Amino acid sequence: MEATKQDKTETGSGSHDALAFLEAEHRSVEKLFEAFGRVGDDDLDARSALVQRACEELSIHAILEEELLYPAAQEALADSDKIDVDEAYIEHFLVKTLIAKFETLKPCDKGFDATFKVMSEMVGHHVEEEEEELFPELRKSKCNLRALGEKLAKRKAELQSKLDAVGSGSVGDKTEML
């Protein structure tokens, strides 16, 4: 869902709007899932790099949502019987469980592709629920999406800096540092 003209006006370019920020993150990881589908089975280095990058982005994204978005949503939507943020936490737990599998799975291992496919499908379902249910309700709420967006951007920069400091390594080594 695109930010409305009003949202972009209130937040300048829309870059500090929390929901526009998170939607851009969703698109970024979707591109990684799509790229994985286009890479040949024999290009193990590219497959490994795409999985590692997706796991890194998903790990950072999960932290952002769990630390900042979901608590803000629970507060802003406390009286809502339509939105249950607890389901999102469970979905994050399941995705993190799959990310952890990539600590030992290699591109040539049986189950590598299946694990990534299942993770992709779970993330797709999760994104759909957020963008079609949670985000519209938050837009209608009194939640300060600009302030939340600034917090998200700042925290992402901190997490990305930690990840960059670790350098190359396994997915598990890098995401544990976060």
pTM of the predicted model over 0.75: yes
| Residue-level pLDDT at 2 | 40
Which tokens belong to 24? 């851009």
- Number of Cβ within 10 Å of residue 48's Cβ equals 18
Q: Which of 160, 124, 136, 165 is nearest to 29 (CA)?
A: 124
Confidence of residue 15 (pLDDT cuts 50, 70, 90): low
pLDDT score recorded for residue 13: 42
- pLDDT of 3 > 50? The answer is no
As a whole number, the mean pLDDT across the chain is 87
Q: Which of 145, 157, 171, 142 is nearest to 78 (CA)?
A: 142
Q: Given phi > 0 = left and psi -120 to 50 = alpha, else beta, which region is 111?
A: left
The helix (H) or strand (E) run that includes residue 31 is helix 18-38
Residues 17 and 148 sit within 8 Å (Cβ to Cβ): no
**DSSP secondary structure of 113-166:** HHHHHHHHHHHHHHHHHIIIIIHHHHHHSS--HHHHHHHHHHHHHHHHHHHHHH
Distance of CA 129 to the CA centre of its chain: 13
Q: What is the pLDDT of residues 17-72, one digit of tens each?
A: 999 999 999 999 999 999 999 998 889 999 999 999 999 999 999 999 999 999 99
